Structure 1
Amino acid sequence: MSRPLFIATSIVLAFCVGVALAGPDPMPAHFASDGVATRFESRVEFAGTMGAITSALGLLFLGARSVIPRLPASAINMPSVRAHRYWTSAERRTILDRMVSEDIERIGIATMALLLGVVVCSVAGASSGRLPVAVLVTLTAAYMIVLFAYVWWMVARRYRVPE
């Protein structure tokens, strides 16, 4: 199990518990593109929903390390046929399983950061019922940029077949 991913998941869950116990009530549960809250929930409902989403995704990401080695080679998608043959060969399969598990866990950590940002933004926007659009755009764009850059690195560098 990935300790950093476990810690990141635990931090988001701790924030959800904090919101359930002492957060503003009601909590904005959805913001429109102009930053205005369009749906509100009780703090317990909001924290429960976010906690359930965090728990489900945390289990999914944390479970990768035990599931990946059990997948048949035909279920693994690689950037090219050559890369697939190289990485799924018997002598490299253990290395591939470790690398894929690490990648999924790193994406999981980024996702937990996004979820934490959502919870913090909802708390921050509770009193006024709105958030600056720049905050919402920055949070979403930062997550997408990190994901795209990481996936590009995985495809272009990490899983490239050595010459």
Structure 2
Amino acid sequence: MSWPRIAAMPAVSSTQSAYAVLRFGRIAAMGTVAVLILIAGVWGSWGTAQHVMLTKGRERGTMTVARCSGDRCTGPYVPATEGSKARARVVIEQPVAVRRGEVLTVVVKPGSDQVVRTGPAGVLYAWVPLGGALLLASVVVAGGLRMARTAWALAGSGLVLLTAAFAALQ
């Protein structure tokens, strides 16, 4: 009886296995960095976005910009929903493209006198940190993971988000 002949496996040199380990380490490290950047972008955006996007049960109304100084503007608040109360002074942090006398639709952050912009402009502005994170992650994906198409998709998404926010606030 003759035994079937088995082709010998090619020998793997230590150089090839070291290269494979280093390649896996690079992919794991850069993938982790890219994911952490995106998580940080969502985390940074969610603090404001939750108030803008999930408005059910929140106080909504309008704010007339009376005074701006530094990174905040103040003005009176007029309610638009039941259960909301008028306030003589509310604060909007980090105003962008806000002028004195302008009337903004806003939602009040629970338990405070701070408000955030609502509507399309407010939603897009709330997600600006994610847009920046998408741009930064695209560089990591392109250089560290060598995934050019994915990097272009991330960069394009970030650029579209930032451009739309800029256009909506003008």
- Please say whether Structure 1 and Structure 2 have the same fold, judged by a TM-score greater than 0.5: no
Larger relative contact order (CA 8 Å, sep ≥ 6): 1
Which structure has the larger Rg over C-alpha atoms?
2
Higher helix share: 1
TM-score bucket of the superposed structures, by smaller chain: 0.3 to 0.5
Instruction: State the TM-score, normalized to the length of structure 1.
Output: 0.41
Higher strand share: 2
